[in-house]
A and B are shown apart, each in its own frame.
Chain A
Amino acid sequence: MKKRIEVNSTDSSSLVATKSLNDDDTAWVDLLLSKTALIIATVVIIAAVYHLGSISSDMVKKNELEVIAIDLASNIDSVGTVHSGTDNAVKIYNFDSSAVQEIDSNRLNISVSGEYVSCTFSDDGNKLSAVRPLNYRTLPFSPKNLRNILTREFSADGNSSQPVNSIFPYTDLTEFLSIAAAEELSLNISKEVNIEKTQVFVTDGNEVNELEYVLVYQ
């Protein structure tokens, strides 16, 4: 019973408080609430604008990376379009230094593997990267290196005088080369890149065929 009275008394006291709040004409609470909301909203808007700005600067950097990757990949592909027996199957590619403006070229990492060109740039914690696939069969080896690898595996260097023994569809050779080419080759941006078309000759005993590859090396 006693308890109930207590509850009643708190109830009535809160009622009194509500009443005094209702009758309060100074509107301090109103003012404080609206100003707090205003400050929070302003902070949110400023943060959003600032975030948008930082995103756009990231986008500029990302664009530069993509330009570098696309330029290198299309140069490799353009050597791939050269048919065997014609000239200019060798191309020397220089990285365009004017493409690198926002990003620090010392922290830029360009690598090429048998399947893609990738450009990564790490800038205090956030990592940007641009990757472009290659359309032609590419090997990140120098011609000498390629012949050495072939000699070691097939005891023939794949030149026209020493074709590799393999039976159509040459799966052992192509699989071996694509696995070997999966390892990325890091490129130094200040040195020139050699891109070269080469042929690997294969024979099944009575017929000689040539498989075409693009070599990328420094």
Chain B
Amino acid sequence: MNLNMSSFISDERAFLEPNNDIIATAMVVIGFVVFAAILSKTFIAFDDNSQALENYEHAAMIAQDIASYPPLQGSRPELISAESLDRITAPSSNEERYMFFQRFSPNLNFYVEVVTDDGNYQWTITDGAVSRNGRDVIASSLPIVIELGSSARCVPGTITVKIMQNKWE
């Protein structure tokens, strides 16, 4: 090893010497390629994140809208009535569900889940046209208060809006 090293150093044939500039250029090119790769990777990550944030904001806006949807309100505003949730999720009330989803653009594919925090009750409002297979889900949740029955017993709960979107590849 030692011998090899010394033979390398004391080698005076100058194999690489005339091509020094080519080696330098190669190093510059490699440096530039690495720089461009890092730059594009950072940009792609930034783009992904900003898209995810934008989608999330849509979902949050819809969740807020649904939490204040008048037909779901209980005895006081800001309270979601379990009774009206039962009514809107009943299989027979197509018309009410239609009115619920009518305001939103038909391009928007989403469903709404309402659960009480103790997990005893759960409602899913869907217009039936939502397929989940192999699609991206964007979800946003909002804490709400659910009024159970007419006894004005209130329990904390969560409203979750899940938007389905085709995978972005």
B is bound to A: yes
CA of A212 to CA of B68, assembled, Å: 15
Question: A41 near B: Cβ within 8 Å?
Answer: yes
Interface stretch of the complex, out of B1-9, B79-87, B98-106 = B98-106
| Contact between B22 and A135, CB atoms less than 8 A apart | no
Tell yes or no: A209 within 8 A of B by CB.
yes
> Which residues in window 1-49 of A have CB below 8 A to B?
27, 30-31, 34-35, 37-38, 41-42, 44-45, 48-49
A-B contacts counted at CB < 8 A amount to 75
* Tally of contact residues, B, Cβ under 8 A: 31
Q: Which of A80-88, A156-164, A183-191 contacts B (4 or more CB under 8 A)?
A: A80-88
Query: Which of A31, A84, A209 lies at the interface centre, i.e. has the most chain B CB atoms within 10 A of its CB?
Result: A209
Bound Cα distance from A80 to B99, whole angstroms:
14
Residue among B28, B62, B98, B105 with the highest chain A CB neighbour number at 10 A = B105
Residues of chain A within 8 A of B58, CB atoms compared = 77, 135
Where chain B touches its partner, the secondary structure class is helix
Cβ of B105 and Cβ of A133 under 8 Å apart? yes
- In the complex, whether B18 has a CB less than 8 A from a CB of chain A is yes
Q: Indicate if the CB atoms of B61 and A178 lie closer than 8 Å.
A: no
With CB as the reference atom, state the residue of chain A lying closest to B58.
A135
Is the Cβ of A83 less than 8 Å from the Cβ of B70? Answer: yes
Contacts of A70 in B (CB 8 A): 54
Point out residues on B near A: beta carbons under 8 Å. 18-19, 21-22, 25, 28-29, 32, 36, 39, 54, 57-58, 61-62, 64-65, 68-70, 94-95, 98-99, 102-108
Extra contacts besides A34-B19, A52-B39 (9): CB < 8 Å: A41-B28, A49-B32, A80-B103, A81-B65, A133-B105, A135-B61, A136-B104, A137-B105, A211-B102
Which A residues fall within an 8 A CB radius of B? 27, 30-31, 34-35, 37-38, 41-42, 44-45, 48-49, 52, 70, 74, 77-78, 80-81, 83-85, 115, 133-138, 168-169, 174, 178, 209, 211-212
Query: Would you give 27 A-B contacts (Cβ < 8 Å), ordered by A?
Result: A34-B18, A34-B21, A35-B21, A37-B25, A38-B22, A41-B29, A42-B25, A48-B36, A49-B32, A52-B36, A77-B61, A78-B61, A80-B103, A81-B64, A83-B68, A83-B69, A135-B58, A136-B104, A137-B103, A137-B104, A137-B106, A138-B105, A168-B95, A169-B94, A169-B95, A178-B106, A209-B99
